[in-house]
Amino acid sequence: MKIIFWLIDINYDLVNSVPEIRLWGVTREGKRVVVLDRSFRPYFYVLPKSTEKLDHLIDKIKSVYSAKYKVLDIKVVNRKYFGRDVKLLKVTCQIPALIPKIRDELSSLREVEEVLEADIRFYMRYMIDNNIVPSAWHEVEVEELEKPKEWQVDGVYLAKHPPRYVPEIAEIPKLRVLAFDIECYNPRGAPKPDRDPIIIISTATNDGEIKLFLADERNNDRSTIRSFVEYVLEKDPDIIVGYNSNGFDWPYLLERCSKHKIKLAISRTRSSPSQSVYGHFSVIGRANIDLYNYADEITEVKVRTLENIAEYLGVMKKSERVLIEGVEIHKYWDDPILREKLLRYSIDDVKSIIGLADKLLPFLIQLSNIVGLPLDQVVAASVGYRVEWHLMRQAYQYNEVIPNRVERRYRTYKGAIVLKPKPGVHENIAVLDFSSMYPNIMISKNISPDTYIPPEEKVDLNEVYVTPELGYKFRKWPPGFYKRVLERLLKARKEVRAKMKELDPSSVEYRILNERQKALKIIANATYGYCGWVHARWYKREVAEATTAWGRSIIRETIKLARDIGLQVIYGDTDSIFVKYEEDKVEDLIKIIKDKLGLEIKPDKIYIRAFFTGAKKRYCGLLPDGRIDVVGLEAVRGDWSELAKEVQEKIIEIILKENSVDKAIEYVNDIVNKLRRGEIPMSKLIIWKTVTKRLEEYEVRAPHVTAAKKLLSAGYMLTTGDKVGYIVTNKGGSSLADRAEPYIFVKDYSEIDIDYYINKQVIPAAMRILSYFGVREEQLISAKRQKSLLEFFE
């Protein structure tokens, strides 16, 4: 019989010394199935030092290592290694787990140059070789097997051949999603799993069910966890989502389980979640996703708590939810009246998580499909690994061997050009952008590790592209690896966008394609950064360097061409130029760039009025629809107080829309007075900063570090990467660092150092804009208020 299924998860197990690939999926009829393939064997390559005496090497491996490592076969194969034809030994074995061991032995042989592709996980190897794509449909001829009793599927099938990817089916099956969140008892500060029980496990499913599991009257969580496990099995979700679940909920649950000597048997084989790659927990047969991983990429939200991310994505407003300070959870639990509120809070959290999943999964599914990593892994993997997996799967298509990861010394290289803008107000500015500049440069100049020609190599100059400034040479032909990969991505994106034009924007298919084109763009644009990443398998400094060098040359040429036709260039950064808008000339410029440079530049937006501070990467502009862009300024930075940001934003609005400096001054005066009268909410005075390393590693006493230490000694939990919110107070010492207090500890307005907020927050943020108009600081501090005697003598 034949089945068609959508691939959710993949793993393997050794059954009677035979590796068995397990493909977990859902059929078009909505059946949960697992397809087994017992026909695949692990292998790797040996690159010999010389192609002579290959038979000798084969014999040696056979006689010395075959028995010990269950080698099944060794044969000579032709592959490409950085574009060059190579002869490799393909060594096939029986047991995946033995590969690292035989690799180590073989790589130390003197006849062996390098052992390749020995670090590819077995199930990924299987997917690459058989073009099996996660989050996509496959068809396969199968024979039904008896279902092991404890496996949670509707059918177990043995594949008669590797499944075939069916890219034509675009739809996404109806997947069952379960969100969960735990609350812990914390009367002694940050909860510790060896002593503090879980008091609430809240769950929500995408069919609208919400269910809570509570600890019993003696705060015992044993049956709580057991009921949760039962419930997960009953709901049998394809996807489990949490928020910081890899960092908190799973490890906590697992430790509570081991304490109670019970099993967190929630996988489709009744196994417990296990620590896997990229710091995530794998749940066999399901996709376990931690949405906090994705939230980290939403840079518009500065403090990425669940509440803030949910609000930003329109899932749940903060104003409509119960907010409880983390450390107070135990108090809410212990008090029968307050407990209702805690339950509400827990429900709001889990509702937010399921809401986020609903918003984000369509994109993540496309990303998984394009990158070729299973859904749970692609979410956990960082950008570099996503790009790399995309490349690894492409390499197989081109018969290229995957290079090993090698340790290299970090070296910087020159990047892009940024123009110094003329400070002040400019009217009518067009912003012109090169579309996907770096990918297009890599394509058009065929920049790739395999096309690079080292300086000592003699070559006909007609056959190479010579990099400006650096003189690096890249072969024009044949197309390099990066060129082929990027061309394919850009072409695919173009096709998707063309197809979208034929669809109703409110249709499901349109939504899927839109997420798909976004994913294609992200991978294409991240590929340049990847090639300059020292840990990349396809790292080549010259490749990254050449790409930025061409970028500089192109933007310089563009500026020159613009000026030649009389366009006034105001600013530019990397791949954009800001010009005084003259419709005809801009149209001409676009044509000239197309003809002379072979690249597409297009108007991104028009500013009716824009203000430049004079510094690079800091400006603001008024759009035709009345919206305002703020770029780089304090108003968009997460490390300034809300008050300072609000003041600056308002000033920008007054200047750009009303052009009134006096009104702006009046506004600042009003704010300063309000601040002095205690009329500004304390929440607007919090300054958030990230702790980027262990506290003892800091060389200077920074305010956020001292605040972090205060939190820690009060029993709070804090790890690298967390943000600390502090308020500057007037007690604790003379230096700012001493006076920075975690905001949760500041109870009274009288503790606040008002002068700090006036002089170091409001005034600098305001002056960033107003100093250009000749405004002096004194004008911003209320004229109505006389200086005190003390201040007079200071």
Partner DNA sequence: GCAGCCCTATTACCT
Partner DNA sequence: ACAGGTAATAGGGCTGCG
Residue 305 beta carbon to DNA: minimum distance, rounded to whole angstroms: 14
Inter-CA distances, 626 with 262, 556, 658, Å: 60, 32, 12
Q: Using H for helix, E for strand and C for coil, what is the string for 210-224?
A: EEEEECCCCCCCHHH
As a 3-state breakdown, the chain gives helix, strand, coil percent values, each rounded to 5, of: 45, 20, 35
- According to the 3-state scheme, what is the secondary structure of 669-685? HHHHHHHHCCCCCHHHH
Q: Per CB under 7 A, which of residues 551..590 are in contact with DNA?
A: 573-576
Instruction: Return d(Cα 25, Cα 40) in angstroms, integer.
Output: 19
Q: Where does this chain touch DNA (CB under 7 A) — which range of 214-222, 343-351, 491-499, 629-637?
A: 629-637
Q: Binding DNA by CB under 7 A: which of 24, 45, 389, 528?
A: 528
Query: Could you give the CA distance from residue 387 to residue 395 in angstroms, rounded to a whole number?
Result: 12
Q: Which helix (H) or strand (E) holds 788?
A: none
Residue 352 near residue 241 (C-beta atoms within 8 A): no
CB of 248 to DNA, least distance (A): 17
List 266, 622, 636, 647, residue binding DNA (CB under 7 A): 636
Nearest one of 436, 432, 397, 402 to 520, comparing CA atoms = 436
- If binding is defined by CB under 7 A, does position 180 make contact with DNA? no
Q: Which is nearer to DNA, 108 or 412 (CB)?
A: 412
The helix (run of H) or strand (run of E) holding residue 706 is helix 703-713
637 part of the interface to DNA, by CB under 7 A: yes
Build a one-symbol-per-residue string for 645-684: x at contacts with DNA by CB under 7 A, - elsewhere: ----------------------------------------
**Structure-derived torsion over alpha carbons of residues 166, 168, 171, 176, reported in degrees to the nearest 10:** 10
Considering only 617, 657, 776, 787, the residue that binds DNA (CB under 7 A) is 617
Q: Which is nearer to DNA, 192 or 602 (CB)?
A: 602
Nearest distance, CB of residue 699 and DNA, angstroms:
4
CA angle 217, 218, 221 (to 5 degrees): 95
Output the smallest distance, CB 780 to DNA, in A: 14
- Name the one residue in this structure whose structure tokens are 């044949």: 478
Among 764, 773, 777, 779, which residue interacts with DNA (rule: CB under 7 A)? 764
Closest CB to DNA among 274 and 382? 382
Q: Please state the closest distance from residue 793 (CB atom) to DNA, in A.
A: 13
Find the shortest distance in angstroms from Cβ 578 to DNA. Answer: 9
d(CA 234, CA 221): 20
Contact with DNA (CB under 7 A) among 278, 396, 745, 772:
278
Instruction: Determine contact, residues 287/375, Cβ cutoff 8 Å.
Output: yes
Which residue in this structure is represented by tokens 């660092």?
737
SS3 for 761-783, per residue?
HHHHHHHHHHHHHCCCHHHHCCC
| 606 is a site residue for DNA (CB under 7 A) | no
Residue 555 CB, nearest distance to DNA (Å)?
9
Q: Report, in Å, the least distance between residue 294 CB and DNA.
A: 13
Backbone φ, ψ for residue 733 (5° rounding):
150, -175
Nearer to DNA, 425 or 615 (CB): 615
Q: Which secondary-structure segment (H or E) carries 39?
A: none
What b/e readout covers 347-380, taking b as 16+ CB neighbours within 10 angstroms?
Answer: bbbbbbbbbbbeebbbbbbbbbbbbbbbbbbbbb
Q: Which of 415, 423, 603, 725 binds DNA (CB under 7 A)?
A: 415
Given the rule CB under 7 A, which of 3-11, 63-71, 201-209, 608-616 is the region that contacts DNA?
Answer: 608-616
Q: Which residue among 247, 632, 725, 732 contacts DNA (CB under 7 A)?
A: 632
Q: Take residue 323 and report the two structure tokens written for it.
A: 């907010």
- Name the residue nearer to DNA (CB basis): 87 or 408: 408
Among 87, 160, 414, 602, binds DNA (CB under 7 A): 414
Stretch that binds DNA, among 29-37, 162-170, 530-538, 780-788 (CB under 7 A): 530-538
Min dist CB 762 to DNA, Å, is 11
Asked if 88 and 47 touch (Cβ cutoff 8 Å), the reply is yes
Question: Among the candidate windows 111-119, 255-263, 533-541, 649-657, which touches DNA by CB under 7 A?
Answer: 533-541
* Binder of DNA out of 190, 416, 492, 718 (CB under 7 A): 416
Determine how many CB atoms are found less than 10 A away from the CB of residue 297.
10
* Out of 665, 667, 768, 781, the residue judged to bind DNA by CB under 7 A: 768
Nearer to DNA, 212 or 417 (CB): 417
CA dist 366 and 375 (Å) reads: 9
Encoded one letter per residue, x for contact with DNA by CB under 7 A and - for no contact, window 685-724 reads ---xxxxxx---xxxxxxxxx-----------------x-
Q: How far is the CB of 343 from DNA (least distance, A)?
A: 33
- Is 47 or 728 the residue whose CB approaches DNA more closely? 728
Find the largest Cα–Cα distance for the chain. Answer: 96
Quick one: which segment of 13-21, 38-46, 122-130, 631-639 binds DNA (CB under 7 A)?
Answer: 631-639
Q: Which is closer to DNA, CB of 58 or CB of 301?
A: 301
Q: Does residue number 518 form part of the binding site for DNA (CB under 7 A)? A: no
Cβ atoms of residues 444 and 601 within 8 Å: no
Count residues near DNA (CB under 7 A).
Answer: 64
- Window of 83-91, 223-231, 252-260, 612-620 that interacts with DNA by CB under 7 A: 612-620
Binding mask 234-273 for DNA (x = CB under 7 A): ----------------------------------------
Rounded to whole angstroms, the Cα distance separating 286 from 267 reads 7
* Cβ distance to DNA smaller for residue 189 or 764: 764
Strand order from edge to edge, sheet including 112-116: 71-81, 84-93, 43-48, 112-116
CB-nearer residue toward DNA: 54 or 419: 419
Q: What are the structure tokens assigned to 267, written together? A: 């996988």
* Gap between the Cα atoms of 395 and 124, Å rounded: 14
Q: Which stretch binds DNA (CB under 7 A): 28-36, 46-54, 729-737, 744-752?
A: 729-737
737 in contact with DNA (CB under 7 A): yes
Interaction between residue 526 and DNA (CB under 7 A) = yes
Single residue of 561, 760, 772, 773 touching DNA by CB under 7 A: 760
Given the structure tokens 């379960």, which residue do they identify?
178
Smallest distance from the beta carbon of 431 to DNA, in angstroms? 8
Exposed/middle/buried for 6, CB within 10 Å: 0-12, 13-18, 19+?
Answer: buried
Beta strands 239-242 and 177-184 are parallel
296 touches DNA (CB under 7 A) = no
Please identify which residue in 302, 499, 585, 605 interacts with DNA, judged by CB under 7 A: 302
Site for DNA contains 735 (CB under 7 A): yes
Task: Give bridge partners of residue 183 from the DSSP assignment.
Answer: 200
390 Cβ partners below 8 Å, 6+ apart?
370, 371, 372, 485, 523
Scan residues 354-413 and list those touching DNA (CB under 7 A).
382-385, 387, 412-413
Record the tokens describing residue 781, joined without a space: 């501090």
Tell whether residue 639 is a contact of DNA (CB under 7 A): yes
Question: Applying CB under 7 A, which part among 104-112, 195-203, 494-502, 633-641 lies near DNA?
Answer: 633-641
Q: For binding to DNA (CB under 7 A), which residues are involved?
A: 278-279, 299, 302, 382-385, 387, 412-418, 420, 526, 528-530, 532-535, 544, 548, 573-576, 613, 615-618, 631-632, 636-639, 688-693, 697-705, 723, 735-737, 760, 764, 768
